[in-house]
Structure 1
Amino acid sequence: MAMEDDDNEDTLLDIHRTSLLEVIEDRNRTLNKKNLIHRVFVLSKIEEGVSNRTEVGNRFDSFLKRMKNDYQTEPITGLMLIYMKHIVHVMECSADMITELARELVSLEEDHEIESLLAKSKILVISHDIPQRQYQGWCFRTLDIVEPGLEAYEATDTTENLTVDLLSQLLRLGSFLAKQPKLNLKSTMDSLHDKVPELLPQQAIVHFLLEDNDPCIMTPQEYVNIHDRPFDITLDSDLVWPLPTRLFPYN
């Protein structure tokens, strides 16, 4: 009888239990995905000396093409809206591309050997492992919308609610563009302000979020530091002398 119990226990131990990681990997293979896809939202302020705003879009377009060729990773999709003084950028890509984007934003702010294009940037939100893309490709558009009184804007809502509203606008904008026929997509992109003005983030709110010192909104430099600097902390037990004796692993 004891032998039968031992055999049953061995059989139960031999049974393979599917882990969550295996489920995710199987799903990615089914969708022909090499990596998990994440969505990042970035706000930037254009340097005052930049006269041609198209240069900013062309710079990012060249950067993303170079990264795609170097890393041979997932396609990069998203949209960059270039206002008169600010930029709203949403990008869907792998985690490596988000890190490289943060490095590029830092270099655009700090590299004095080339013409500076951006004065400051902030990473608003990163949505990890998104179920599906909202944008079919990456592109940028310049918007000649003049909105006076940006500096005088006083928020009547919390930073969290303003952020949620802005993200909702961009996601609904991506859903709207995904439904457009490919033949009409270019004309639709060129007339966003006329067709869907309610889906375009307000410049005053973008300016407020960039200037606000909310600790929940990360700068590109802070994001790069997380990946570059070693993670080293001192535990309370490390400050005790004599050192505690660990007789068992779970102590």
Structure 2
Amino acid sequence: MLKDEHIRIMPEGQVYIEYGPTAMLVAAYNEEGKPLTALCRNAFKVLRTGLAQIAEALPLLRRRPDAVTESQLQGLPLAMCRAVRLTGEPTLTPMAAVAGSLADTVADWLADQGAAVAVANNGGDVALRLAPGQSLRLRTVIDLHTGETSQPALIQAGAGIGGICTSGLGGRSFTRGIAESVTVFAARANVADALATHLANCSFIDSPRVASTLAVNLDPQTDIPELEVVTATDILPEEELHRAITQVLEEAGRQYSAGLLIRMEGSIQGRRFAFPGNAVHEP
């Protein structure tokens, strides 16, 4: 049952829900822009069901995809596993898509209930559903440690963007790379979430200026205990920055060619870059 401590009404049809490990901002509007606050409140039941499915399947979701068969999963956990498999990265477990998958589930339900604009922002991993002719302005995170954001970007329904997710050093989860942020725009938030994790990991470089440790040393319950994760970086020379950025751009190009990635934006020590475009901006 939804309790007062789980929810906070925000302005203009927005509801903030805190439940278990999830803190999600939910927003919905009809075609005329009228806020659908009651619908946002009712989205709690969808979030609760999704979290229950994840909890039940958690032992399987902590395994690498090659150790799990799809017949063992259903519902949201199955969507998580499929999203991670699409990236082609064998070290990712389905947990790399958990935040985006929860956001997708809520946004899908809002749209099914008639919302022309539906947004589920799960701690910065965003699922959005825009009916034809609708648009939305939003900011993306440039630096997860400081919380710095970009200028508002206009997302239009025709762009096919249904998920915008960010990963990197200083975020909620471990990263194997040195990027302060990698933001992925994709058709679904679960795919954007998995790709953001993967592309951020691609920014790793072997350097005495990069500190890392086994993930299990930081969290005994992690789903990637045997993998090295980055804990800190010093100022990197230009050659190392260039190498890290190039690695991310090259993998973004492969994912773009595969049809998974619509756009990627990233930042490493003040160098901002993007694909398509391969643009690199100095600080």
Range of TM-score over shorter length: under 0.3
Computing the radius of gyration over CA atoms, which structure comes out larger, 1 or 2?
Answer: 1
Q: Which has the higher helix share?
A: 1
Greater share of strand = 2
Superposition TM-score, scaled by structure 1 size? 0.26
Identify which of structures 1 and 2 has the higher relative contact order when contacts are C-alpha pairs closer than 8 Å and 6+ apart: 1
